[in-house]
Amino acid sequence: MASPLRPTDDDARALARNLMAKARFAALAVHDPETGAPLVSRVACAPDDTGLPMALVSDLSMHTQALKADPRCSLLLGEPGPKGDPLTHPRLSLQGQARFIRHGAPDHAALAERLVSFLPKARLYIGFADFSLLRVTPIRAHLNGGFGKAYLLSAKDLTEH
């Protein structure tokens, strides 16, 4: 059987970067430390200074506890449009490693201000001690650009312009 994946090209790379730049929410998939089963949460996100998605997470959340036990995760980015079949709208499933940026870390203040510039309501709780920024270092990503437009992207495809 022929692969459903198309060769990754500049249009696919640009679409993936655009999805990351515009995303304000994502589905975050982690491994439940008790069962090993997938656990999915919705998180607010914004692009960091490199264009990759970052989120603000609480130590009290199940997904943060899971990521502390196993930093492997996936983010699903892309929203269905107001019309038509939701499965025809582009989406990006980014696989990577989670890294927490705690208060006091050298890049926390600048990244926190950047996140708040995209998500102003986050200012209400970004200073709480139990919140930290979450960055996902990409390993690879699966891009579905619409019907018949599937691509596998490398970390380099997502980060180099």
pLDDT digits (tens, 9 = 90+) for 41-64: 999 999 999 999 999 999 999 999
In percent, the amount of the chain with pLDDT more than 70 equals 99
pLDDT at 82: 75
Q: Is residue 160 part of a domain?
A: no
C-alpha–C-alpha distance, residues 19 and 53, integer Å: 10
Lowest mean pLDDT among 29-43, 68-82, 112-126: 68-82
Domain hosting residue 42, numbered range: 10-80+90-155
Q: Is residue 118 part of a domain?
A: yes
Is residue 145 in some structural domain?
yes
User: Tens digit of pLDDT for each residue in 123-146?
Assistant: 999 999 999 999 999 999 999 998
Q: For residue 5, tell me if it sits in a domain.
A: no
CB atoms inside a 10 Å sphere around CB 123: 13
CATH assignment of the domain containing 44 = 2.30.110.10
Rounded distance between C-alpha atoms, residue 80 and residue 24, angstroms: 13
Residue 64 resides in a domain:
yes
Domain count across the chain: 1
The pLDDT tens digits of the residues spanning 63-79 come to 999 999 999 999 999 98
Q: Is residue 127 part of a domain?
A: yes
**Domain-embedded: residue 54:** yes
